[in-house]
Structures are given as structure tokens and as C-alpha cells.
Amino acid sequence: MATDLLGPSAQIPSANSGTPLSRLEIPGAVAEIFASTPIIDIHTHLFAPAFGKLSLWGIDELLTYHYLEAELFRSTSMTPEHYWTLSKSAQAELIWRTLFVENTPISEATRGVIAVLKAFGLPADGNALLEARAFFGNQSFESHIGRVMQLAGISDIIMTNDPLDPDEAPLWLQGVAPHSQFHAVLRLDRILNLWSAHWQAVAAQGYSVDANASAKSISEIRRFLADWAKRMKPVYMACSLPDSFAFPSDSINARLIADAVLPSCRELDLPLSLMIGVRKQVNPRIRLAGDAVGRANLEALENLCRDFPENRFLVSVLSRENQHELCVYARKFNNLMPFGCWWFVNNASIVEEITRERLEMLGSSFIPQHSDARVLEQVIYKWANTRRTIAPILAESYRLLSADGRPVTRIDIQRDVTRLFRSNAETWMDLRRRA
């Protein structure tokens, strides 16, 4: 298993893998190959063990996930203000009682917790919380990570790392031991979206920048990015952008992207990941759960891909209405890689729709999914859901290909699954960047 995970992603075809599959054999072959191909999870909010308490895991963290907090506030009379005064364990107990006992856990996020309990052979009835706490309390995090990644069928976890985060940045400045399966990403939201609130934090790290992001600031930000790239060895730079994102424009955000971030990405040979369409904090009372979605004008992306052909753009869009446009733009620009069904579109009914049109329009030249996991064990259900939802859609593509006159073999299926969930990512980002 280890060599498969780390070596080139090509799999050794078995004896009969070149034999054409019958229409009835295709779904089983797809499900089997999908289950046995380790996935590279290209976007998460997980941390390697070296980041200590930043790494969230265990039942209380699973229950207080912001997806569940959003659902809690629809089913409880408790105010958010009161909820935030509770301890983590009291919050978890309220969510368990409200969403898993007093109501049936049928939403995608509540079903996820049930699936995690099942994966560890834990009960899911009313008293499950105590038993789950005892179970997770007995795990050593290091070995637990290995088991969770095995259960999820993933080989690599790509983190989200913020050089201005007050808890995380000091750890990097002290020096963080690398981990072979966790890869860093240089996340730039505070710099690109909240410059007025965070330029002083950049200055405090020793870079002479100013509130207007003047020309001097631009070269200093490039120095900042180069220093952090040396420190983190990121596999890409990233930023989420609002639905109002416009490019080109004379906003600080657009200027920093054009004059600092894109040149640095070219110099460092790193893709830039743009996650477009979030409306931050439409309801700040519920904190992380308070973000929403808006349809973006993707002409900004068109301009970026056309005007910066030397840059690679890894893009995910939050609005359902933007998905088709993203697919079409990917047919126009080969420096654009669509990835994932992000956040509010990460529900089976919409993942089906998005994945079907991407297969029809892009073949296997996209990255279908990422987990966006914030709590370690979430990768178990998020990837089980992805395999369950996408395998039949892939199988349908092969049934149609076979019906159209070209037989399909296990070799075909293995090559496509490997490309979709491994080599597209490996080609776009150098996962073994340790020099």
C-alpha cells in the first residue's frame, strides 16, 4: 500500500484488466477501483500533529462543526449569544440532543457524524455520546491519523495555512517538522481581502508595507511571500474571494493579485487557488456558520486566465449557478483546473449534477472533489459520500461509451480514476516539494 501511495500514480494492471467489461460488470469494476485508489485531498482545514491544538479531532469537535451549528440554530430556541457562552462539551451535548435525539439526523452533515461512529464500530443511539467520548479519549493522535486516512482511502492531506493567523504563524516561525502526508498551502485571505485590517501584521513581521499597498508594499509583499514559501514549502497559494470579486479593478485586492501574488507564483512555480463566491458573515451572530453564497461574475476569472497565461489557476466556485460557466472557461483555458464541489454545493444532489456536466465537457481533465474537512474524522464520511455519489456517474459514462461502440476495460477505469483523484493534482502541484 505505502509504495502505491508514494510512487508514481500508475497502478499495475491485473491479468484480465485489458478485457472488455460487459454492461453489467462496469458499475462493480468502477466501485472497486474507486475504493482501492488512494485519493489526494487537495483542500482541507486539517493540520499535521506538529500543530498541536490546531488539529481538531474527536466527537466534540465533530458535533460542533459549523455546518451542524447552522442546523442547530434552526431547531433550538437558544440564542447564538447564549450558545457561545457554553463550554465545548456543553455545546456538543446540545447539538447531539437537538439534532440526533430530538430530531432524525437526515441532513448530509448529521449523517456524516453517524457514518463516522459506524466506521469505528460505535453505537449511534441516544447514549452514543458518552461511549464515543471514551473511545476517542483512548486514541493516540499519531496512530489515529493513520487509521483515519486508511478508512477514508486518502494518501495525502493538503492543509490551509495562514501566515497571519495569531495561533498558527508563531509555530511556523519557530519551525514545524514536515509530515510526509500533510502538505502546506499559503493562504492569503487576510492579505488580499482584509488588507486594511491586516497590513500592520505584515509590517510587524518586518516588512515595510503601508495601508495603501503602495509600490514599495508590493515588492515587500513579494519578499513576504518568498520568505513564507521557503518556510512552508507550499504546494499552492490560495484565497477565497467574494461574489463581488472583479478583475481587473483598482481595488487593493486586484492590484495585489496582479502585481505581487501572480508574479510570485510564476517565480515559485506554484498554482494559485481561487475559491470564488462566498458572502462572508451575512449573519455574524453564528460566526463561522454565518457565511453565505452569491453568484459571481466569472468574467474576472476569464480575464485572469487570458491575461496571465503563465499562471496556473486551481478554481472552485461556491454558487450552483456558476458551475456551468466554470466548466466552459476550463474548455477555453488550459491554465484553469476546476476542482471540488465546495461547501454549499457539496451535497449529493448537486455533486451529481456538477460531476456529470464536468465529465461531459472536460472528460477526466478536472479534480472532482476535495473534503474541506475541519475535523480529522470528517474525511471518512466526506470521501465515502464522494465515492458513493461519483462512482455511478462514472459508470454511466462508461456504459454510454460502450453503447456508442468502444469497449471499456479496467485499465481505462483505473487510468481515469487515478487521473481524476491523483495525477491531475500531482501534475499541477509538486507534492514531494521538500528540497
Under the binding rule (CB under 6 A), the answer on residue 374 touching ligand FIX is: yes
Residue 424 touches which of Zn ion, ligand FIX, none (Cβ within 5-8 Å per kind): none
Which of the stretches 68-76, 169-177, 264-272, 364-372 binds Zn ion when contact is defined by CB under 5 A?
364-372
How far apart are CB 25 and Zn ion at their closest, in Å?
Answer: 37
Under the binding rule (CB under 6 A), the answer on residue 118 touching ligand FIX is: no
Residue with cell 452569491: 294
Where does residue 357 rank: exposed (0-12), middle (13-18), buried (19+ CB within 10 A)? middle
Residue with cell 492531506: 157
Under the binding rule (CB under 5 A), the answer on residue 372 touching Zn ion is: yes
When the beta carbons of 359 and 379 are compared against ligand FIX, the nearer one is 379
For the segment 7-46, give every residue that binds ligand FIX (CB under 6 A): 45
Under the binding rule (CB under 6 A), the answer on residue 71 touching ligand FIX is: no
| Total binding residues toward Zn ion, as defined by CB under 5 A | 1
When the beta carbons of 189 and 412 are compared against ligand FIX, the nearer one is 189
Distance set, CA 168 to CA 48, 51, 164, 232, 411 (Å)? 12, 8, 8, 12, 43
Under the binding rule (CB under 6 A), the answer on residue 173 touching ligand FIX is: no
Residue 193 parent element (H or E): helix 189-193
| Total binding residues toward ligand FIX, as defined by CB under 6 A | 8
x/- mask, Zn ion, residues 272-301, rule CB under 5 A, reads ------------------------------
How far apart are CB 57 and ligand FIX at their closest, in Å?
Answer: 15
Under the binding rule (CB under 6 A), the answer on residue 275 touching ligand FIX is: yes
Which residue among 320, 335, 343, 409 contacts ligand FIX (CB under 6 A)? 343
Q: How far from chain centre, in Å, is Cα 351?
A: 14
Q: How far apart are CA 389 and CA 396, in angstroms?
A: 12
Which residue among 217, 240, 264, 273 contacts ligand FIX (CB under 6 A)? 240
Order of all β-strands in the sheet with 39-41: 39-41, 154-158, 182-183
Q: How far apart are CA 30 and CA 255, in angstroms?
A: 46
Nearest residue to Zn ion by CB is 372
Instruction: Write the CB contacts of 71 (distance below 8 Å, at least 6 apart in sequence).
Output: 99, 107, 109, 110
Using alpha carbons, select from 404, 409, 416, 398 the residue that is nearest to residue 20.
Answer: 409
Give me the helix-helix angle, 378-404 and 108-119, nearest 10°.
100
Q: What are phi and psi of 83, to 5 degrees?
A: -55, -40
How far apart are CB 298 and ligand FIX at their closest, in Å?
Answer: 18
Residue 374 touches which of Zn ion, ligand FIX, none (Cβ within 5-8 Å per kind): ligand FIX
Under the binding rule (CB under 6 A), the answer on residue 372 touching ligand FIX is: yes
Q: How far apart are CA 21 and CA 398, in angstroms?
A: 10
- Contact 336/307 with Cβ under 8 angstroms? no
Give the residues lining the site for ligand FIX (CB under 6 A).
45, 160, 240, 275, 288, 343, 372, 374
Give the residues lining the site for Zn ion (CB under 5 A).
372
